[in-house]
């Protein structure tokens, strides 16, 4: 029987015979068992996939916020119209704008800032409503004011969120005033409607959408837990000898990418107000999260190594059982992951003791030990991280947390920072200092001045559609590619929304006002929910809502013509704004991309500098994990800019940008592993310290040379390899007595050498001359072999599938093996049992425990002797039933919501009976 309660202790497992050294130290003994909040570490739930798709529930919150605000604003606007004796349509338009703008433009995470922003909206809005009413007879001045208001909005955006909101309310007030043709004498009543609607929206948002940033962090942490379980599940599939290995590896790569996005998002949230209790606690959360992600990445990549090896069946089975136990362990007590490590470690030791297997299959033991060691590391990191800072800060985590990740709409930031740096670099003297303030307002003003006469000639009543196209194009975009992508989303969303909206209008009809209002609110809410995923979702929802609004005044026959005009006006506004941005004080997309790459090189330079300081002065306030996370954040910016507008077939123009991005992804993996392994106190001998200082100084000089080359656009300098020096230092330090500290030093030096090789390959792709002795030794780890293969292979054409599989590197020696050294998996075919019925043997029984005499709820997973999941079933009312099993040895793993996973061995007999084989289990 295998269960967490009977697994060996960590000390016993750590001293298993012939266990190879790894770069991860054993968790310290005596660590108190952490208790995570149930919201984070509770059992698996049916809606966990929602959290995984939307970490922190930012998209769902946006949809719910829009639903609450719009229903409140429309209802209050209608009630105020009846009370003040003004047309209901005017009351609902004025109030509805309060709800719409509060939902989309006000997303503060403290109630004080939320109150200030919402209560401020009616004042600029009502002021321009009166101005629009006064200018009804002067068409030219009216249009000019609209153009000026749009330019002013972009100018005010540089001064903060409240200024941006002011500009948007000015523009929207002019637009609503023109659309509704509000008389000047009604401006006071309109202000009253706006103010009361804003107050009502504020009250309902505080009651139903109260900002809870710490709760959002908990939900994001839960998303991390879900993604961690997905990584474990994908690892189990990759171990299946009959599975499609390429598909399993792709699934693993997707899981690791989602895991990285979630962890970077959490790091960004830690810097937001009212999230972390204090800077020291935020730093603890950051450190434990970083180590947990690193361990999960290592597990995933080690399993990919095993997928290409001839693994003994019992070891494969032990790996599958251990990973299944790890996946289903309730993370409220994350130390339960240690028994899973013990399962794998014991079987790996058994393989080494088998003389025949040791000679033929010993290569599979090292990755298995690596998985076991990483599960131990993951248990320690998760138990502390999930405790959310309930333990006391300890050295070296006394360094205050400093944010290294910027978020945009609750996602890692893209091209904005690089574009701002490019703009600032060329505008530091004389009159050019005004360009950062005037550039985008000029784009908006000129584009609006061109678009307005054209759209006014098409339809004088709805010429503002072109202005809306200009506005949405320039908000949140920095390159021509981004604006053209937004144009595609705008056009596609308009067409899809028009089709759905007209169909709903025909279904509902003109006479059912309340049903039409329901469709309007639902369209806006669903659009707000999908906006962060794809802009086309928001456009489709918006158009569905607008079709219902147009249906109140436009007959069915004129709807197609009206929507065609909207499509034309919006497309014209987008294209003119894109052209103006490309002509007036333009920013080259290539320059922005180079600046993002410079930001990446600078982040690596900062990591290397902090590493040198960490080993020179152990007491220095150094944040190696924070520096590595800054490298992660910089990589997101590079990737966001490297994505082509249209993906061309292989061989048409080459994929230099993708190749360079893949090399940077490889370097990022090594940077993460380096930061974790090197964060130790070390006392080098003077001669060794001098050699290490020379290594880091040389690497810093090479990084600075690469930075100058990217800035100038001309490769005039060279990259000096330091990997030969690192190998020499590592060989000298290898004579030191073995131990956890020595293992981490070796890992750190190995990662530093691999980081240098990855960046040397990138520098060579950028045109620099690479100097120094190339690596001729046999790589000592799968990670080094992978790095060398990647650097060598990018000189030749590769398929998109290879890029997807190999683009992200491994950690702790956790890369997929490539080249001739990676053998095809050799597995023995399962014996065919002719005595077994075609349907297989059914096993049924009960699951009981002392705390639940009536039975425990959960699920049962069956793994055969080859490590393949062959059946699964629910445990209901304490009973389970699984069928289709072939005779032979199997392992049954019971995962219950209130218990740690429990595994039992079962030999399924050969039988001709149609009845079930009984097997009861007790937790």
Q: Which of 445-454, 767-776, 800-809 has the lowest mean pLDDT?
A: 800-809
Alpha helices in 209-278 (DSSP H): 213-239, 245-269
Residue with tokens 């100018």: 155
CB burial of residue 99 (10 Å; 0-12, 13-18, 19+): buried
- Reported as a pLDDT band with limits 50, 70 and 90, residue 336 is low
Q: What is the SS3 string spanning 194-225?
A: HHHHHHHHHHHHHHHCCCCHHHHHHHHHHHHH
- Reported as a pLDDT band with limits 50, 70 and 90, residue 393 is very low
Average pLDDT (240-245) is 77
CB burial of residue 382 (10 Å; 0-12, 13-18, 19+): buried
Average pLDDT (157-173) is 90
The region that residue 106 occupies, defined by phi over 0 for left and psi between -120 and 50 for alpha, beta otherwise, is beta
Residue with tokens 């000390």: 11
SS3 state at 385: helix
Tokens of 670: 């090594």
Cis before 511 (ω within 30)? no
- Reported as a pLDDT band with limits 50, 70 and 90, residue 5 is very low
The candidate with the shortest Cα–Cα distance to 842, out of 862, 868, 824, 815, is 862
Average pLDDT (609-623) is 84
Cα–Cα distance measured from residue 923 to residue 916, given in angstroms and rounded to the nearest whole number? 22
* Residue count of the chain: 923
The secondary structure of residue 586, as a DSSP letter, is: -
**Ranges 408-422, 442-456, 544-558, most confident:** 442-456
The secondary structure of residue 533, as a DSSP letter, is: T
pLDDT surpasses 90 at 362? no
Cα–Cα distance measured from residue 180 to residue 676, given in angstroms and rounded to the nearest whole number? 61
pLDDT tens column, 292-301: 888 888 888 8
Q: Which of 362-366, 574-578, 643-647, 842-846 has the lowest mean pLDDT?
A: 643-647
- The values of phi and psi at residue 817, to 5°, are -75, 140
The region that residue 884 occupies, defined by phi over 0 for left and psi between -120 and 50 for alpha, beta otherwise, is left
Which pLDDT value is given to residue 31?
37
Residue with tokens 């020379």: 694
**What percent of the chain clears pLDDT 90, i.e. is strictly above it?**
14
The candidate with the shortest Cα–Cα distance to 377, out of 754, 785, 31, 817, is 31
pLDDT surpasses 80 at 776? no
pLDDT tens column, 133-147: 877 777 788 888 889
- Reported as a pLDDT band with limits 50, 70 and 90, residue 247 is confident
pLDDT surpasses 90 at 195? yes
Which pLDDT value is given to residue 360?
57
Average pLDDT (64-86) is 91
CB 227 within 8 A of CB 259: yes
Which pLDDT value is given to residue 116?
94
SS3 state at 411: strand
- Reported as a pLDDT band with limits 50, 70 and 90, residue 808 is very low
- Reported as a pLDDT band with limits 50, 70 and 90, residue 387 is low
**Ranges 28-42, 685-699, 806-820, 834-848, most confident:** 685-699
CB 176 within 8 A of CB 92: no
pLDDT surpasses 80 at 603? yes
Cα–Cα distance measured from residue 320 to residue 340, given in angstroms and rounded to the nearest whole number? 10
CB burial of residue 457 (10 Å; 0-12, 13-18, 19+): exposed
**Ranges 113-122, 295-304, 864-873, 910-919, most confident:** 113-122
CB 284 within 8 A of CB 392: no
CB burial of residue 776 (10 Å; 0-12, 13-18, 19+): exposed
Average pLDDT (340-346) is 83
CB burial of residue 163 (10 Å; 0-12, 13-18, 19+): middle
Cα–Cα distance measured from residue 113 to residue 753, given in angstroms and rounded to the nearest whole number? 49
Contacts 24+ apart (CB under 8 A), 766-769: 766/660, 766/706, 766/709, 766/710, 766/715, 767/709, 767/715, 768/705, 768/706, 768/709, 768/715, 768/717, 768/718, 768/719, 769/715, 769/717, 769/718, 769/719
**Terminal Cα-to-Cα distance of the chain (whole angstroms):** 11
Cα–Cα distance measured from residue 497 to residue 563, given in angstroms and rounded to the nearest whole number? 10
- Reported as a pLDDT band with limits 50, 70 and 90, residue 400 is low
Cα–Cα distance measured from residue 745 to residue 421, given in angstroms and rounded to the nearest whole number? 37
Cα–Cα distance measured from residue 232 to residue 241, given in angstroms and rounded to the nearest whole number? 16
pLDDT surpasses 70 at 631? yes
Which pLDDT value is given to residue 833?
39
Tokens of 920: 């009861």
pLDDT tens column, 695-724: 989 999 999 989 888 888 777 788 998 888
What is the sign, positive or negative, of the torsion defined by CA atoms of 335, 339, 344, 350? Answer: positive
Which pLDDT value is given to residue 41?
58
Average pLDDT (245-266) is 83
Cα–Cα distance measured from residue 278 to residue 401, given in angstroms and rounded to the nearest whole number? 9
Q: What is the SS3 string spanning 851-872?
A: CCCCCCCEEEEEEECCCCEEEE
Which pLDDT value is given to residue 426?
67
Residue with tokens 């004088």: 460
CB 270 within 8 A of CB 401: yes
Cβ neighbours of 308 (radius 10 Å): 21
The candidate with the shortest Cα–Cα distance to 498, out of 563, 557, 572, is 563
Cα–Cα distance measured from residue 230 to residue 252, given in angstroms and rounded to the nearest whole number? 8
SS3 state at 696: helix
Which pLDDT value is given to residue 590?
85
SS3 state at 565: helix
Q: Which of 629-638, 748-757, 850-859 has the lowest mean pLDDT?
A: 850-859
3-state DSSP percent of the chain in helix, strand and coil, to 5: 65, 5, 30
Mean pLDDT, the chain, rounded, equals 77
Which pLDDT value is given to residue 838?
47
| Inter-CA distances, 654 with 396, 597, 646, 659, Å | 47, 19, 13, 9
Cα–Cα distance measured from residue 250 to residue 238, given in angstroms and rounded to the nearest whole number? 10
- Reported as a pLDDT band with limits 50, 70 and 90, residue 801 is very low
CB 663 within 8 A of CB 706: no
Cβ neighbours of 235 (radius 10 Å): 30
pLDDT tens column, 504-515: 888 877 667 778
The candidate with the shortest Cα–Cα distance to 190, out of 330, 296, 93, 281, is 93
- Reported as a pLDDT band with limits 50, 70 and 90, residue 823 is very low
Give the pairing type, strands 718-720 and 411-412: unpaired
pLDDT surpasses 70 at 321? yes
CB burial of residue 511 (10 Å; 0-12, 13-18, 19+): exposed
CB burial of residue 353 (10 Å; 0-12, 13-18, 19+): exposed
Tokens of 562: 């009206």
Cα–Cα–Cα angle for 107, 109, 112, rounded to 5 degrees: 100
- The values of phi and psi at residue 635, to 5°, are -65, -40
The candidate with the shortest Cα–Cα distance to 334, out of 322, 326, 344, is 326
Cα–Cα distance measured from residue 479 to residue 481, given in angstroms and rounded to the nearest whole number? 5
CB 259 within 8 A of CB 296: yes
CB 418 within 8 A of CB 641: yes
- Reported as a pLDDT band with limits 50, 70 and 90, residue 166 is very high
Cα–Cα distance measured from residue 249 to residue 238, given in angstroms and rounded to the nearest whole number? 7
Tokens of 714: 């001309």
């Amino acid at each position: 029987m295998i269960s967490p309660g009977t697994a060996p202790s960590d000390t016993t497992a750590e001293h298993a015979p012939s266990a190879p050294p790894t770069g991860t130290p054993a968790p310290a003994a005596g660590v108190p068992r952490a208790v995570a909040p149930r919201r984070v570490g509770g059992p698996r739930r049916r809606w966990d996939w929602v959290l995984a798709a939307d970490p922190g529930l930012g998209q769902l919150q946006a949809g719910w916020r829009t639903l609450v605000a719009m229903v409140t604003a429309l209802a209050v606007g209608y009630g105020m119209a009846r009370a003040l004796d003004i047309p209901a349509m005017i009351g609902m338009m004025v109030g509805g704008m309060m709800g719409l703008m509060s939902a989309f433009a006000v997303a503060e995470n403290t109630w004080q800032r939320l109150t200030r922003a919402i209560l401020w909206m009616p004042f600029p809005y009502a002021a321009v409503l009166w101005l629009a009413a006064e200018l009804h007879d002067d068409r030219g001045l009216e249009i000019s004011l609209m153009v000026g208001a749009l330019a002013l909005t972009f100018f005010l955006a540089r001064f903060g969120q409240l200024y941006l909101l002011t500009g948007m309310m000015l523009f929207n007030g002019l637009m609503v005033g023109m659309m509704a043709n509000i008389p000047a004498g009604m401006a006071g009543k309109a202000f009253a409607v706006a103010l009361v609607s804003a107050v009502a929206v504020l009250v309902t948002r505080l009651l139903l959408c109260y900002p809870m940033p710490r709760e959002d962090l908990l939900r994001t942490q839960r998303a991390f837990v879900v993604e961690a379980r997905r990584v474990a599940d994908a690892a189990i599939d990759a171990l299946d000898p009959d599975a499609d290995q390429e598909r399993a590896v792709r699934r693993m790569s997707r899981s690791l990418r989602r895991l990285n996005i979630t962890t970077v998002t959490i790091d960004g949230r830690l810097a937001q107000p009212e999230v972390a209790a204090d800077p020291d606690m935020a730093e603890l959360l950051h450190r434990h999260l970083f180590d947990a992600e690193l361990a999960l990445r290592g597990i995933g990549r080690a399993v990919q190594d095993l997928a290409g090896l001839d693994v003994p069946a019992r070891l494969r089975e032990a790996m599958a059982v251990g990973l299944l136990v790890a996946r289903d362990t309730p993370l409220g007590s994350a130390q339960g992951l240690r028994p899973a490590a013990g399962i794998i470690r014991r079987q790996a030791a058994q393989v080494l003791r088998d003389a025949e297997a040791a000679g033929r299959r010993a290569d599979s033991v090292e990755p298995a030990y690596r998985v076991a060691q990483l599960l131990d590391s993951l248990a320690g990191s998760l138990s502390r991280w999930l405790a959310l800072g309930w333990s006391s800060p300890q050295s070296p985590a006394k360094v205050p947390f400093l944010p290294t990740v910027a978020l945009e709409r609750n996602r890692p930031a893209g091209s904005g920072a690089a574009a701002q740096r490019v703009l600032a670099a060329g505008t530091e003297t004389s009159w050019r200092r005004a360009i950062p303030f005037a550039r985008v307002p000029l784009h908006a003003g000129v584009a609006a001045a061109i678009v307005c006469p054209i759209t006014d000639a098409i339809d004088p009543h709805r010429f503002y559609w072109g202005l809306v196209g200009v506005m949405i194009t320039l908000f949140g975009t920095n390159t021509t590619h981004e604006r053209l992508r937004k144009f595609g989303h705008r056009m596609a969303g308009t067409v899809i929304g028009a089709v759905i909206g007209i169909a709903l209008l025909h279904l509902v009809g003109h006479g059912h006002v309340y049903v039409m209002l329901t469709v309007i609110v639902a369209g806006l809410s669903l659009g707000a929910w999908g906006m962060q995923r794809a802009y086309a979702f928001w456009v489709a929802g918006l158009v569905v809502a607008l079709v219902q609004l147009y249906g109140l005044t436009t007959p069915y026959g004129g709807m197609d013509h009206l929507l065609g005009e909207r499509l034309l006006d919006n497309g014209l506004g987008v294209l003119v704004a894109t052209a103006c941005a490309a002509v007036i004080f333009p920013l080259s997309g290539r320059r922005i991309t180079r600046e993002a790459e410079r930001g990446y090189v600078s982040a690596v330079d900062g990591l290397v500098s902090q590493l040198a300081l960490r080993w020179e002065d152990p007491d220095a306030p150094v944040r190696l994990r924070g520096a590595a996370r800054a490298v992660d954040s910089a990589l997101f910016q590079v990737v966001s800019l490297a994505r082509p507008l249209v993906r061309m077939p292989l061989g048409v123009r080459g994929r230099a940008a993708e190749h360079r991005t893949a090399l940077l992804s490889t370097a990022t993996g090594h940077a993460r592993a380096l930061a974790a392994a090197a964060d130790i106190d070390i006392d080098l001998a003077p001669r060794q310290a001098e050699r290490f200082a020379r290594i880091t100084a040389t690497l810093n000089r090479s990084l600075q040379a690469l930075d100058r080359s990217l800035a100038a656009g001309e490769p005039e300098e060279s990259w000096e390899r330091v990997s030969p020096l690192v190998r020499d230092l590592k060989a000298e330090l290898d004579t030191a007595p073995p131990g956890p500290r020595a293992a981490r030093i070796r890992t750190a030096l190995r990662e530093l050498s691999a980081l240098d090789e990855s960046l040397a390959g990138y520098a060579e792709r950028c045109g620099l001359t690479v100097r120094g002795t190339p690596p001729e030794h046999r790589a000592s780890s799968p990670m080094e072999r992978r790095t060398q293969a990647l650097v060598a292979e990018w000189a030749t054409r590769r398929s998109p599938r290879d890029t997807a599989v190999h683009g992200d590197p491994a950690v702790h020696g956790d890369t997929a093996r490539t080249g001739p050294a990676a053998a095809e998996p050799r597995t023995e075919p399962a014996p065919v049992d002719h005595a077994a019925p075609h349907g297989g043997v059914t096993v049924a029984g009960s699951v009981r425990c002392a705390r639940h005499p009536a039975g425990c709820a959960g699920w049962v997973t069956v793994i055969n002797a080859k490590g393949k999941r062959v059946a699964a079933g629910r445990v209901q009312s304490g009973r389970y039933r699984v069928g289709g099993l072939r005779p032979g040895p199997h392992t049954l793993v019971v995962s219950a919501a209130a218990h740690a996973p429990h595994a039992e061995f079962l030999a399924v007999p050969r039988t001709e009976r149609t009845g079930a084989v009984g097997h009861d289990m007790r937790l």
